[in-house]
Structure 1
Amino acid sequence: MKYLILILFLITSGSILTGLFLDSIYSEKLIGFGVMGLFFVVFPLFSYRHWKDKNLKDYMLTKENLDKMRENQEDKKS
């Protein structure tokens, strides 16, 4: 998965750069497809890879997490 994301990133970046530096009829399409591929394919795959083993409740502001934060602040003050 890591290498697939890297390869797709290089392809989309190459498409964007090719569209910027080549002066042809398809340069705007290359830039557009590169940006679309980056934001609709590469970024979701990257996000999925990095968040798949994480517990979302650890990052939410629930009552329990707020209480833990307050306890940690009180411990640092003492």
Structure 2
Amino acid sequence: MKYLIIILTLISTGSILYGFLVPSEFSEKFIGFGVVGIFLIVIPLFSYYRWKGKDVKDYMLTKENLDKMRERQEK
């Protein structure tokens, strides 16, 4: 999964750069497909890969977590 994300990021970035650097009839479409690739494919895949197996409650500001933070601050 890690390598797929890297490859898709490089392809999307390459598409954006190709659209900016090579003047052609479809340069705006290359830029658009690169941006869509990053924001609709790469970022969700990256988020899924990084959050897989983690409990979301550990990162929420619940009463228990706030109490734990206050206890750590007092020490």
CA RMSD, Structure 1 to Structure 2 (Å): 0.5
If the length of structure 2 is used for normalisation, what is the TM-score?
0.97
Q: Distance in 2 between matches of 1:45 and 1:51?
A: 10
Q: Distance in 2 between matches of 1:62 and 1:38?
A: 33
If the length of structure 1 is used for normalisation, what is the TM-score?
0.94
Q: Distance in 2 between matches of 1:63 and 1:4?
A: 39
Deviations 1:18-37 (A, max 9, x none): 00001001000000000000
Residue 35 of structure 2: aligned partner: 35
Where does 1:1-78 land on structure 2 (aligned, <5 Å)?
Answer: 1-75=1-75
The runs of 4+ residues in structure 1 deviating greater than 6 Å are none
Shift of 1:54: 1.2
Identity %: 68
Number of aligned residues: 75
Shift of 1:53: 1.6
Matched AA of 2:44 = P
Matched AA of 2:68 = K
Q: Distance in 2 between matches of 1:17 and 1:56?
A: 36
Matched AA of 1:61 = L
Structure 2 stretches lacking a partner, 5+ long: none
